[in-house]
Amino acid sequence: METFTLVGPTPMCHRPAFFILLLAALLSLGAGSAAAQVVSIDGLYTTGVKNNGNLLKSNRQDSHYVVTDSSAGSTYTGSAYTVTTPASGWMAEPSDAQWIIAPNGAKNGKDTTRPAATYDYTLTFDMPAGAQLSSVSITGTGAADDTATIYVNGTLVSGQTLSSWSSANSFALNSGNAAFVSGANSITFRVNNSGGGATGLMITGFSGTAVVPEVGAFLPVATAVTLCGLGLIRRRRRGSTAVNAPR
């Protein structure tokens, strides 16, 4: 009986050149800054604006900020409303934001008074795909009546508060004080209206950045793996032809 020995070219992934290419690819990924870029985080809307950043009219729903909880009851939950006339003593509205208030099932933004309670204004946004969570940096400026604490994904951010309604103060959220995640994230401003009466929230100058890998950073590895795969497929096809050759 005749026997056949399968002889084919050495697959690409068995050749020294493949390992050189793969090593170079991995080194390029480890270069850090050379394989990454800083991008803006979308969805960080200031209060009282449309999707395009233009100001809403007065007493309109601000769907970006949803009052997800209130110790005053469910009547005061739902999309916030822009205020028709800011309460006495509130800081003036800047060009990129407006005061907003929890709904009340009746006058909404036409009335700035609410019961003594806490009101959770929550903004949800998506983290850029592939973002390095340790690089996330979000900053803004805000005012609240009476005051507000800040939560990221339901966890209190230590040391970051809004302490006045007559003037704004800045806040900063990052991996050092907040637990960001891939995909959907939430930022909640818990406004405390301790004595009842006027209450509201205003966030301005809201923006954020994160570091993500450049698209081309993975091309060397993809190329090396593809060449290896093509080499193995080619070898199998030649081997199959040799076994089935006529005697």
Separation between Cα atoms, residue 166 and residue 172, nearest integer Å: 20
Predicted confidence at residue 15, as pLDDT, reads 55
Contact (Cβ atoms closer than 8 angstroms) between residue 174 and residue 160: no
Whether 12 has a pLDDT exceeding 70, the answer reads: no
Read off the tokens for 245: 């050759």
CA distances, 240 to each of 5, 102, 151, 235, 244 (Å): 11, 72, 62, 9, 6
Output the pTM of the full model: 0.76
pLDDT tens-place string over residues 31-83 = 444 479 999 999 999 999 999 999 999 999 999 999 999 999 999 999 999 99
Question: Average pLDDT in the 205-215 region?
Answer: 93
Using CA atoms of 88, 92, 93, 99 in order, give the dihedral in degrees to the nearest 10. -30
How many other C-beta atoms can be found within 10 angstroms of the C-beta atom of residue 65?
26
The pLDDT tens digits for 188-208 are 999 999 999 999 999 999 999
Helix axes 219-243, 16-29, angle to 10 degrees: 160
Percent of the chain's residues with pLDDT above 70: 73
